[in-house]
Amino acid sequence: MSLAVVAKSPLERLRSFARERGWNPVRLLSSAGNNYNRDYYGENAEGGQQPSLNVFVRRSGRIHHFFHSELLLVPPEPGQNQRHVDMIWPLWNLLDFTPEGRGSDWYPSLTSADPPLR
């Protein structure tokens, strides 16, 4: 298995961001200047970023798209939240066990001092 994190930011900016945080073993890929985000639902029609988990598989020498976390793309049931990739963010799930929980409007983000990764 190979894991990569894709962001719509120039590669050198991603590398600098990773170095500052000691993320040396993390494989970062840039989707800047290509169609990856649009093709695999990593951004909406207006170009806004949205979290997405994609799984690809190599079979007979060809790469196939195997899975995509699609719950973000459908309307939520009343009273429910579209936390579609939370299974890979276990630390954030811990907030659900606190007395106040994480709240229905809490989503992870970079600190306010960090500019967005675009």
Helix, strand, coil share (%) of the chain residues, nearest 5: 25, 20, 60
pLDDT value for 73: 76
Which residues contact residue 16 at a Cβ distance below 8 angstroms, ignoring those fewer than 6 apart? none
* Opening angle at CA 106, ends 48 and 72, nearest 5: 45
Task: In whole angstroms, give the CA distance from residue 18 to residue 25.
Answer: 9
Return the C-alpha torsion angle 97, 6, 26, 2, nearest 10.
Answer: 100
Domain ranges of the chain: 5-68, 75-107
Please write the tens of the pLDDT for every residue from 61-113. Answer: 999 998 888 777 778 778 776 666 666 666 566 667 666 666 666 666 655 44
| Six token digits for residue 1 | 């298995």
Count of H-run helices and E-run strands, the chain = 3, 4
pLDDT surpassing 80 at residue 33: yes
What's the pTM?
Answer: 0.64
